[in-house]
Structure 1
Amino acid sequence: MTGASLTRTTAWNALAQHYQDIQGQHMRDWFATDANRFERFHLQAAGLNLDYSKNRITAETMKLLQQLARARDLPGQIDSMFSGEAINRSEKRPVLHTALRNFGNREVLVDGVDVMPEVRHTMQRMEEFCWKIRRNQWRGFNNQPFTDVVSIGIGGSFLGPKLASSSLKPYWDSGLNIHYLANIDGTHITEILKRLNPATTLFIVQSKSFGTQETLKNALACREWFLNNGGTEADLPKHFTAVSSNVAKALEFGIAEENIFPMWDWVGGRYSLWSAIGLPLALAIGIDNFRDMLRGAYDMDEHFRSAPIEQNMPITMALLGLWYVNFFGVNSHAILPYDHYLRSLPAHLQQLDMESNGKSVTIDGYQVDYHTGPVIWGGVGTNGQHAFHQLLHQGTHFSPCDFIMPMCSHNPIDNFHAMLVSNCLSQSQALLQGKSEEEAVAELMAAGMSKAEAIVTAPQKVIPGNRPSNTLYFPKSKPHTVGALIALYEHKVAAQGFLWGVNSFDQWGVELGKQLGSKVLSALEGEDIPQHFDGSTNGLVRAFHDMQNLL
């Protein structure tokens, strides 16, 4: 099912008419007349709870959105993904990150071969690797146990593991410090390495090709630092491991073959947390907790592939997002975790969503005549309230929000967590209710202002409300919960891609940047000032050369 005729479907036209009917209505009135709205628009799956009652929807809205999902054969497209069809058509690959957390007995076939034995074998190798490091059976070149692990990767090899590591910090029990090195910035690598002892540091190079520019450059710099600070070529296998499909390149680097873990073409980088890319996390929290995270993702997988559309949490979130992007003209979506441990979630979801659905051509090559993926942004907890929530409440653009809230804290102090929850709930309440001019006048007069002054001042305090949000809540951020949460968003994004008819699993815009980057780098490192780029790039390259000469 493609996107070429999406806007000409009966289901789409029915939604367009319905939008005209309800766009002027206020959610405040819907809550006033429906005592069961919370229960009506509420779902549970894999330990997560979704309150989506604060959305600009009625029962009829959801019925029409669900009809669109059926018209687009969304259940069939989901089945195609799980069955191993090559739904990433531009790269002729299946999309099977779900196989990495498949706790069922079903086969997962790629070109007629069941990949599950290899997946299970890799997990067994990960378990053995973690056991040796965590129990000091594998030591550095001077026989000291490791104290630090540096994961060298970028994109999905960085954002997913970093998110999971920070989300599950209460479960770090190995005494190891985990560091993530991604940016090709001398400051980043300097700030990490200057705190480390090469004799007690383990490096994990994470690159499918073992040729990603940023990753390889950082890995070579770490190798040089190691060799210049007491390590030898013979010691490299003790201190460097890799997750890569390019075994030859990893061996050439100095990594022992038994310490090279596989990556597969049927796992995209932004979905690779569940593979050996998750090794740093497994080292920190232990393989049992790592498996529990996989189990949470698996439970969400099973929900996504089997729950009816009406009770399907990822599909519901996908449909709500489509409703705002395509009918309200919304172009952004805010992720607001009220949990310090989940502070990296917005950054991970930025890549997951924007790299997946930042497309303007359908999977069969047609230019879309509708909007696709929104800008994903956000921030953590009450910090955001004192930074960007002002725009959410009174700005000229409205951005749907996902509030994400554990109801219990790993670190209970006084009434801190109750205050945190109260902030979360009151922000979504304020977005819903707003404040009318009459309410603002009455409030100002109650504070002692004259009626004349209040009437002049009140417009500044008017808050429109009627701004939509979801609230995702759960008891506590545990491995199972974090796995389910990340998988929820993976499937939401995939479902939206299926609905829009785009390929959510390639990223050719990213590839173009890589291609051009090598040419620009040559110009920056060469002596001749280029004239073959566009005028702006030529000028910036000249500025780079000029400023080097000033130092």
Structure 2
Amino acid sequence: MGQPWDNAWDRIKACERRTLTELFAADGDRVGKLSARLEWGDEDEPIGALFDWSKTHLDDALLDAFEALAEARDFAGKRAALLAGERVNVTEDRAAEHTAQRGTGADASVEEADALHQRMHILVDAIHRGTFGEIRHLIHIGIGGSALGPKLAIDALRREGSLVDVHVVSNIDGLALEDAFERCNPAETLIAVASKTFTTIETMTNAASALDWLKQHGIADPYGRVVALTANPDKAVEWGVDETRVLPFPETVGGRYSLWSSIGFPIALGLGWHVFEDMLRGARAVDAHFAGTEGRANLPLRAAFADRYYANVGGCQTRGVFAYDERLRLFPDYLQQLEMESNGKRVTADGAPVSGSTAPITWGGVGTDAQHAVFQLLHQGTVEAPLDFIASVTSGDTLDPAHHRILLMNCFAQGAALMAGQKSEDPARAYPGDRPSATILCDDINAATLGALIAFHEHRTFANAVLMGINPFDQFGVELGKAIANKIDAGGARFDASTEALIAAADLSQS
């Protein structure tokens, strides 16, 4: 006997797929039904974004069927469990409380987050006041979520002005760390070491090299220049960091969801505490929408409906994200980890094999650069890939407004061209059209907007996981390669002939 969601999937697959042009022609209110604004500003400065999913193949029949799937998967119950701090990460037997870091969650968890934020605020203020001497540089060392979030925020928002120059280093390749060293004066530099466990080999190796760099340049107490951001404060103290410079975050906050915790320290230090608070505020507004809006009107859930349709019915193995704003150039990189590490699974939360596709490959780039690189395939290639466009009504530059006008014209033209296509008697100049896209048009790119965009995609990722029945909060697939690397390091283990030859060619046994 099948599960209730099997019936919902049968209903989804039975829906007729009409072309996008046909869908618009059949429903004069299609844009009104499939686009909506969310706002996250305050009364003095209203700001938000338009979320337009009308150029996807969602229609009333599909939306009805997907709402039935969400009900069969108990989306409302699982959402409530997430936001209440219940044990939703079943494989690791813990909650997933990243929303509590921005004020949405169990009362006790929100209070703990507030206290930890206050502790971080005190340290940030002390550094800005000169307690550690003149600090002009921060080298932030982490990997994965401990690096991608701060790197995205610093790059997106730095044009508003920086208090401390922040360099984010994640790669174990020594060139990355040396590049940061060249840009910093060791006498004016702090080191932030971000690791949930404080045992991550790439992070701790880079941290040790950063300490050596400080020593070599005459810093008498290099450990006194280190701030630890971790869920394992005892380990940080054992490593040598004074407890007054350890900024903890809860074990229930996963790495790729940790930007809102003390992992946000480089944002607050580099750009100002108000910037970090504004990011929390924008995310909190999306939390409120996600928590209090049902069915297709819930924008992250609606986006997940489209994601599931293209992956599970359309057979699309990728989803492209294109930011038509230089400030968001790192956003596709951030989403890669968020979506692929969360939902790149092959078993359900119960351990059974999944039926159908889970996460597509997330990729993307920046417009208009991407138009001259990958859009040939997207318009005329044989691979269908749903796309998201993200743009801002307000420019981030002070140049001739023609720059921004041309940028937005190109963004909107791509979605229109993908949908409409173009017939031609010359096959090489024919465009099939009927290719889906969605657009998020922001009023402006500021800290609150960035926080809102990240939160939207966090909830979209969770909604996708619920519809698939998987756990988005573990990442065991990350561990296998690390375990084999440790075996190579230890020596004595045998591998396949190719790997053995590579180890010998690199002379790793002598390193």
How far 1:374 sits from its partner (Å)?
0.4
1:335 corresponds to: 321
Q: Which runs of 4+ in 1 moved over 6 A?
A: 546-549
One of 174, 190, 197 as aligned partner of 1:209: 197
Contact 2:84–2:106 (Cα < 8 Å) also in 1: no
Instruction: Give the percent of matched residue pairs that are identical in Structure 1 and Structure 2.
Output: 38
- Is 1:44–2:30 an aligned residue pair? no
Closer/same/farther in 2, CA of residues 90 and 409 from structure 1, 3 Å limit: same
One of 130, 148, 152 as aligned partner of 1:136: 130
One of 230, 234, 247 as aligned partner of 2:218: 230
2:449 corresponds to: 481
One of 512, 517, 521 as aligned partner of 2:485: 517
Equivalences for 1:93-492 in 2 at 5 Å? 93-102=94-103, 107-108=106-107, 114-139=108-133, 145-174=134-163, 176-232=164-220, 234-237=221-224, 239-414=225-400, 415-436=402-423, 440-441=424-425, 458-492=426-460
**SS state of the match for residue 505, structure 1?**
coil
How far 1:121 sits from its partner (Å)?
1.4
Structure 1 residue identity aligned to 2:435? R
How far 1:547 sits from its partner (Å)?
12
1:454 corresponds to: none
Structure 1 residue identity aligned to 2:352? Y
**Distance across 1 between alignment mates of 2:375 and 2:2:** 37
RMSD across aligned positions (CA): 1.8
One of 9, 13, 18 as aligned partner of 1:12: 9
How far 1:7 sits from its partner (Å)?
8.7
Closer/same/farther in 2, CA of residues 82 and 342 from structure 1, 3 Å limit: same
Contact 1:6–1:500 (Cα < 8 Å) also in 2: no
Contact 2:98–2:258 (Cα < 8 Å) also in 1: yes
How far 1:231 sits from its partner (Å)?
0.8
How far 1:161 sits from its partner (Å)?
1.2
**Distance across 2 between alignment mates of 1:293 and 1:83:** 22
One of 486, 494, 499 as aligned partner of 1:532: 494
**Distance across 2 between alignment mates of 1:34 and 1:16:** 21
How far 1:5 sits from its partner (Å)?
5.3
**Distance across 2 between alignment mates of 1:350 and 1:546:** 31
Closer/same/farther in 2, CA of residues 460 and 235 from structure 1, 3 Å limit: closer
Contact 1:531–1:538 (Cα < 8 Å) also in 2: no
- Is 1:497–2:465 an aligned residue pair? yes
> Could you report, residue by residue, the CA deviation over 1:122-157 in whole angstroms, capped at 9, with x for unpaired residues?
111121122122233431xxxxx1111010000000
> Could you report, residue by residue, the CA deviation over 1:449-493 in whole angstroms, capped at 9, with x for unpaired residues?
xxxxxxxxx100111110000000111001111111000000000
**Distance across 1 between alignment mates of 2:375 and 2:54:** 20
> Could you report, residue by residue, the CA deviation over 1:33-86 in whole angstroms, capped at 9, with x for unpaired residues?
433321121122232211111011222121211121112111111001111111
Contact 1:7–1:370 (Cα < 8 Å) also in 2: no
Unaligned runs of 5+ in 1: 109-113, 140-144, 442-457, 524-529
Structure 1 residue identity aligned to 2:6? T
**SS state of the match for residue 418, structure 1?**
helix
One of 28, 40, 47 as aligned partner of 1:35: 28
> Could you report, residue by residue, the CA deviation over 1:417-475 in whole angstroms, capped at 9, with x for unpaired residues?
01100010001111001111xxx24xxxxxxxxxxxxxxxx100111110000000111
**SS state of the match for residue 193, structure 2?**
strand
Contact 1:169–1:341 (Cα < 8 Å) also in 2: no
**SS state of the match for residue 333, structure 1?**
strand
Closer/same/farther in 2, CA of residues 7 and 330 from structure 1, 3 Å limit: farther
**Distance across 1 between alignment mates of 2:183 and 2:378:** 40
**SS state of the match for residue 168, structure 1?**
helix
How far 1:548 sits from its partner (Å)?
8.3
Closer/same/farther in 2, CA of residues 356 and 72 from structure 1, 3 Å limit: same
**SS state of the match for residue 9, structure 1?**
helix
